[in-house]
């Protein structure tokens, strides 16, 4: 079994498998070269040849233990017929979904057809990994968790406090639950198609889970994740799942136990040893180096990385960042980080 999958199987693989969130991205000159050819980010995500190419770029450079499908969590609302545009320097821009009519307008019947190019990308990446001799590199598929996807759909993009989506959950609970149910069901279909196309593990990104109250966290983070895990396990026995309830704080232990995931991503601000102690021992922890430590490099990065390694030695663990790598990261610092991790 591949090293990453062994960790997700509950084994304390050492030195630990390593990959980095947003490992394909703007910090790499070869990514920027592809991006210059395709200014429209959505078009890039729908181009199997180029999406495969950028997925493989960081694997060729660093030999990570996992490749992650190059796409975006917002391709799911796009596939449901909700609009999506990425504006230079502004991030994602979507129509604001604030009422019953907005939920009713989503069209799950279009999903399978609209995500076909993404499934072709998954197939091409698997073939590419084998053809280029990366037989030990696992392919991770992913989706946004329903709550985080709902955040962008309701707000119409990013937000500093996600007041509109939190407000909607309180004041229009039935409409909001319908939105969550639509997204949960669509996510199951979308992830299932990725497994059929060749994904070996799946990650569920709940980047804004931490803006919710404990009660709402149970309802809109834990419950949908549990449903997604259960449905995927029923269809694809043995499929590995990683949940990332970012900024979940003390709720992360409950998330790990109640959702049935095989691994949990930990954000930068959490003490990884303390979070690991809250989780069942067979569940892998993944994280949680500060992306800015990789920008800094040198001894500062070494101290942070070694601190994490020491904290989780002896338990199932996957080395990663606490959030995505940032564009100003010097590529040579990533190479230095891999040496540190591989020295264990
Ligand atoms: C919230 C979220 C999004 N997308 C994603 C999340 C969850 C993780 C997190 O919290 O960061 C997840 C994501 N986005 C991307 C991937 C690809 C795989 C990978 O390498 O990790 C993954 C797994 C590519 C991307 N998605 C995006 C880029 C940058 C696009 C570019 O090339 O200009 C990449 C490489 C754009 C994106 N996509 C999103 C935003 C807010 C932005 C704009 C901010 C930014 O530009 O970094 C939504």
Model confidence pLDDT, tens digit, residues 99-111: 999 999 999 999 9
Q: Does residue 7 line the site of ligand 1, with CB under 6 A?
A: no
Confidence band for 123, pLDDT divided at 50, 70 and 90: very high
pLDDT at 147 > cutoff 90: yes
Cite the beta strand spans of 123-165 per DSSP E: 138-144
Closest CA to ligand 1's atom 19: 22
pLDDT at 87 > cutoff 90: no
Query: Are 318 and 284 contacting, i.e. CB atoms less than 8 angstroms apart?
Result: yes
Q: Does residue 26 line the site of ligand 1, with CB under 6 A?
A: yes
Q: What's the pLDDT at 140?
A: 99
Q: What's the pLDDT at 297?
A: 98
Q: Would you kindly state where each structural domain of the chain is located, as residue ranges?
A: 17-277
Confidence band for 307, pLDDT divided at 50, 70 and 90: very high
Q: What's the pLDDT at 89?
A: 81
Q: Which two tokens stand for residue 80?
A: 């449901």
Q: What's the pLDDT at 324?
A: 98
Q: What's the pLDDT at 18?
A: 98
Percent above pLDDT 90 for the chain: 99
Ligand 1 midpoint to CA 103 (Å): 24
| Domain 17-277 belongs in CATH node 3.40.50.300 | no
Query: Are 44 and 68 contacting, i.e. CB atoms less than 8 angstroms apart?
Result: no
Q: Does residue 289 line the site of ligand 1, with CB under 6 A?
A: no
Q: Does residue 122 line the site of ligand 1, with CB under 6 A?
A: no
233 belongs to the catalytic site: no
Ligand 1 midpoint to CA 151 (Å): 15
Region 295-299: mean pLDDT is 98
Ligand 1 midpoint to CA 72 (Å): 6
Three-state helix/strand/coil letters over the chain: CCHHHHHHCCCCCCCCCECCCCCCCCCCHHHHHHHHHCCCHHHHHCCHHHHHHHHHHHHHHHCCCEEECCCCCCHHHHHCCCCCEEECCCEEECCCCCCHHHHHCCCHHHHHHHCHHHHHHHHHHHHHHHHCCCCCCEEEEEEECHHHHHHHHHHCECCCCCHHHHHHHHHCHHHHHHHHHHHHHHHHHHHHHHHHHCCCEEEEEECCHHHCCHHHHHHHHHHHHHHHHHHHHHHCCCCEEEEEECCCHHHHHHHHHHHCCCEEECCCCCCHHHHHHHCCCCCEEEEEECHHHHHHCHHHHHHHHHHHHHHHCCCCEEEEECCCCCCCCCHHHHHHHHHHHHCC
62 belongs to the catalytic site: no
61 belongs to the catalytic site: no
Region 196-222: mean pLDDT is 98
Q: For residue 23, which atom of ligand 1 is closest to its CA?
A: 20
pLDDT at 90 > cutoff 90: no
Work out the widest C-alpha separation in the chain, in whole angstroms: 55
Q: What pairing do the DSSP bridges indicate for beta strands 138-144 and 201-206?
A: parallel
pLDDT in tens, 21-38: 999 999 999 999 999 999
Q: Does residue 235 line the site of ligand 1, with CB under 6 A?
A: no
**ipTM surpasses 0.85:** yes
Closest CA to ligand 1's atom 47: 91
99 belongs to the catalytic site: no
Ligand 1 midpoint to CA 144 (Å): 10
Q: What's the pLDDT at 154?
A: 98
Q: Does residue 287 line the site of ligand 1, with CB under 6 A?
A: no
Determine if the pTM surpasses 0.95. yes
Confidence band for 88, pLDDT divided at 50, 70 and 90: confident
Q: Does residue 178 line the site of ligand 1, with CB under 6 A?
A: no
- Flag whether 65 is marked binding: no
In three-state secondary structure terms, 208 is coil
pLDDT at 273 > cutoff 90: yes
Task: Count CB neighbours of 94 within 10 A.
Answer: 19
152 belongs to the catalytic site: yes
Q: What's the pLDDT at 93?
A: 97
- The residue to which tokens 């390593």 are assigned: 18
What are the backbone dihedrals phi and psi of residue 108, each rounded to the nearest 5 degrees, phi first?
A: -65, -20
Three-state helix/strand/coil letters over 294-322: HHHCHHHHHHHHHHHHHHHCCCCEEEEEC
């Amino acid at each position: 079994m591949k090293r990453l999958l062994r960790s997700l199987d509950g084994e304390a693989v050492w030195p630990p498998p390593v990959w980095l969130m947003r490992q394909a991205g703007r910090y790499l000159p070869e990514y920027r070269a592809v991006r210059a050819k395709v200014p429209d980010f959505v078009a890039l995500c729908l181009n199997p040849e180029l999406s495969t190419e950028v997925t493989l770029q960081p694997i060729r450079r660093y030999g990570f233990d996992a490749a992650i499908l190059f796409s975006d969590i917002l391709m799911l609302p796009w596939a449901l017929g909700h609009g999506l545009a990425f504006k230079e320097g502004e991030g994602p821009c979507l129509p604001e979904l604030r009422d019953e009519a907005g939920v009713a307008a989503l069209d799950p019947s279009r999903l399978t057809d609209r995500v076909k190019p993404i499934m072709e990308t998954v197939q091409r990446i698997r073939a590419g990994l084998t053809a280029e001799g990366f037989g030990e590199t696992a392919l991770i598929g992913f989706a946004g968790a329903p709550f985080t996807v709902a955040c962008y759909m309701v707000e119409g993009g990013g937000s500093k406090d996600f007041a509109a989506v939190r407000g909607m959950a309180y004041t229009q609970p039935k409409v909001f639950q319908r939105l969550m149910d639509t997204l949960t069901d669509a996510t199951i279909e979308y992830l299932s198609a990725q497994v059929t196309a060749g994904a070996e593990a799946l990650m569920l990104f709940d980047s804004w889970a931490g803006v919710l109250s404990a009660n709402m966290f149970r309802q809109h983070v834990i419950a949908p994740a549990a449903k997604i895990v259960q449905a995927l396990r029923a269809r694809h026995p043995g499929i590995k799942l990683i949940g990332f309830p970012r900024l979940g704080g003390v709720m992360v232990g409950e998330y790990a136990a109640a959702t049935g995931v095989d691994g949990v991503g930990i954000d930068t601000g959490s003490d990884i040893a303390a979070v690991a102690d809250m989780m069942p021992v067979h569940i892998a922890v993944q994280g949680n180096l500060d992306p800015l430590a990789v920008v800094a490099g040198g001894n500062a990065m070494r101290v942070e990385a070694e601190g994490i390694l020491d904290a989780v030695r002896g338990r199932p663990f996957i080395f990663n960042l606490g959030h995505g790598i940032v564009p100003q990261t010097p590529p040579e610092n990533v190479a230095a980080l891999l040496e540190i991790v591989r020295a264990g």
